[in-house]
Amino acid sequence: MSPPNDPPLVIDIAGRPVTILLRRSARAKRLSLRLDPAGAAVLVLPVGMPAREAERFARLQHDWLAARLVAAPPSLALVPGAIVPLLGVPHLIRHDPAAPRKVAAQAGEIRVGGPIDMVPHRVEHFLRAEAALLLAHRARTLAAQIGRTVGRVTVRDTRSRWGSCSAAGALSFSWRLVLAPDWVLTYVAAHEVAHLVEMNHGPAFWALVERLNGDHRPARDWLKRHGPALHRIG
Tell me the CATH number at 137: 3.30.2010.10
Indicate if 149 and 209 belong to the same structural domain: yes
Indicate if 20 and 96 belong to the same structural domain: no
Indicate if 43 and 89 belong to the same structural domain: no
> How many structural domains is the chain composed of?
2
Taking only the tens place, the pLDDT of each residue in 95-151 is: 998 887 789 999 999 999 999 999 999 999 999 999 999 999 999 999 999 999 999
Contact 152, 135 (CB under 8 A): no
The pLDDT score that the predictor gives to residue 5 is 82
Contact 141, 149 (CB under 8 A): no
Indicate if 55 and 107 belong to the same structural domain: no
Cα 21 vs. chain centroid, distance in angstroms? 18
Indicate if 104 and 218 belong to the same structural domain: yes
| Residue 1: pLDDT over 70 | no
Indicate if 13 and 49 belong to the same structural domain: yes
Angle at 164 between CA 171 and CA 151, to 5 degrees: 15
Host domain of residue 38 = 9-71
Strand ranges (E), 54-175: 83-86, 89-95, 103-106, 109-112, 153-156, 163-165, 171-174
Indicate if 150 and 221 belong to the same structural domain: yes
Residue 76: inside a domain: no
Indicate if 92 and 137 belong to the same structural domain: yes
Indicate if 47 and 128 belong to the same structural domain: no
- Final residue of a domain: which of 71, 94, 110? 71
Taking only the tens place, the pLDDT of each residue in 47-93 is: 989 988 988 999 999 888 888 887 777 889 999 999 999 999 999 99
